[in-house]
Each structure stands twice: as structure tokens, then as C-alpha cells.
Amino acid sequence: MDYKDFKDTLKDNGLSLRDFSNLSGVKYDTASKWGKNGRPVSDWVESWLENYIKAKNFDDAKAIFCDKK
């Protein structure tokens, strides 16, 4: 995942870099340096974001279908 894809994925899912940092446990300073001076986004980030999005979608669907009273 390149830096543009990373930033686009965050934006598309309503996450700021600070949100990502807090959720993933990556220091904000570290994540903010990705994409600068050729620093790549860490390899694990793409799969982490995929799983985050799947879990969020599941939680949203569950709220619609299961949490109604």
C-alpha cells in the first residue's frame, strides 16, 4: 500500500491519521512520517485496515438488524 492509498482509505472510512494512530497503537509521529522522504507505509497496515473496515461494516449491520427493540 502506498501513501496515497493509505490516506485515501483513511478518508473514505472517516478516519484521521490521529484516529488510525489511536486505534492501531502506532505512534502518531511514526505514521505521520510515512510517505515522506521515501518512507513506506508499514507492510501490515493494508491488512489491518481491511480487517478494521470489515469489523466496522459488521458492527454497523448488526446495529441495524440485531439491536432493534
Predicted pLDDT at 67: 67
pLDDT in tens, 3-39: 999 999 999 999 999 999 999 999 999 999 999 998 9
pLDDT-derived band at 64, boundaries 50, 70, 90: confident
Residue 31 CA to residue 59 CA, distance in Å, equals 26
Predicted pLDDT at 12: 97
| pTM exceeding the 0.85 threshold for the entire prediction | no
Q: Where along the chain do its domains lie?
A: 3-65
pLDDT (mean) for 44-67: 92
H-type alpha helices, 1-69: 3-12, 17-24, 28-33, 45-65
Q: Which residues have C-beta within 8 Å of that of residue 28, sequence separation ≥ 6?
A: 17, 18, 21
